[in-house]
Structure 1
């Protein structure tokens, strides 16, 4: 299953993602960002589940199952560029801002920012067509105490 998905993503002109593939690609990107500091904390896993539940109206068990699939996909995926390219093509700019907010939310979930996470988020934001200012504002929005 994942080999076919990755093969589709790595084609020179990949077809637009289906809704389920877009969900999986976003979830895998969330996992990749969470793993960037080599400390995939329980808080980050829980935050990913909450993001998936809210974004896709999933039950807790369905969100956890999607995250588990994404963990496998992320570990097999060659690079971040293909995920972001597919998401960029499938998602409007305003919604991509929401993706950046979700990614920042995962980075900040464990209470520590890491240089690897920051660097990956800068690259991902750029690949998604989000400028540094909008990414910083997204980070500030999710960092505000609730």
Structure 2
């Protein structure tokens, strides 16, 4: 189901993603970051669902369908470097910055910052063209939203 999507996403010169494909790719990236420490728990899944519902004004059913597709896509997606670079090429900078803040919310939802999650989020942020200071500000904004 996702093979054509992934082939288009990792093509040498990918076309910009339409809204639906961008939603799916960014949702799968959230799942990838959440799974990076080997634990993908109910709190992380609920946070991703909440962020997707807010970002895209989705109904509960639409959000659940998107999240299920994102979870499947994440397992089939190529390595994080190619996957994230493809998203960078297809998603405007302003959207990528808000995605990094959302990714921090997912990482921080369980109250713990695991080394694996930090490492993946740092890699993903840099690959998305977001500097370390910008990522730190996004983390602080995510923490203040949670606190």
Cα distance between partner residues in 1 of 2:27 and 2:83: 10
- Give the aligned partner of residue 143 of structure 1: 143
Kindly indicate whether residue 132 of structure 2 is the aligned counterpart of residue 127 of structure 1.
no
Helix, strand or coil for the counterpart of 1:111? coil
> In structure 2, do the counterparts of structure 1 residues 74 and 130 end up closer, same or farther at CA, with 3 Å as the change threshold?
same
> Could you tell me whether the CA contact under 8 Å between 1:26 and 1:83 is conserved in 2?
no
Separation in structure 1 between the aligned mates of residue 110 and residue 93 of structure 2, nearest angstrom: 27
Residues 9, 82 of structure 1: 8 Å contact kept: no
Partner of 2:96: 96
Change (3 A) 1:96 1:123: same
Unpaired runs of 5+ residues, structure 2, are none
| CA–CA distance in structure 1, aligned partners of residues 90 and 48 of structure 2 | 20
Q: CA deviation at 1:127?
A: 0.6
- Residue 105 (structure 2) aligns with: 105
State TM-score, norm by structure 1. 0.94
RMSD: 1.3
Query: Which shifted more, 88-97 or 55-64?
Result: 88-97
Following superposition of structure 1 onto structure 2, how do residues 1-146 of structure 1 map, counting pairs within 5 Å?
1-144=1-144, 145-146=146-147
Aligned equivalents of 1:92, 1:119: Cα separation in 2: 23
Offset of 1:85 from its aligned partner? 2.4
Structure 1 unaligned residues grouped into runs of 5+: none
Distance (whole Å) between structure 2 residues aligned to residue 47 and residue 17 of structure 1: 24
Structure 1 residues 30 and 42 mapped into 2: Cα distance closer, same or farther (>3 Å)?
same
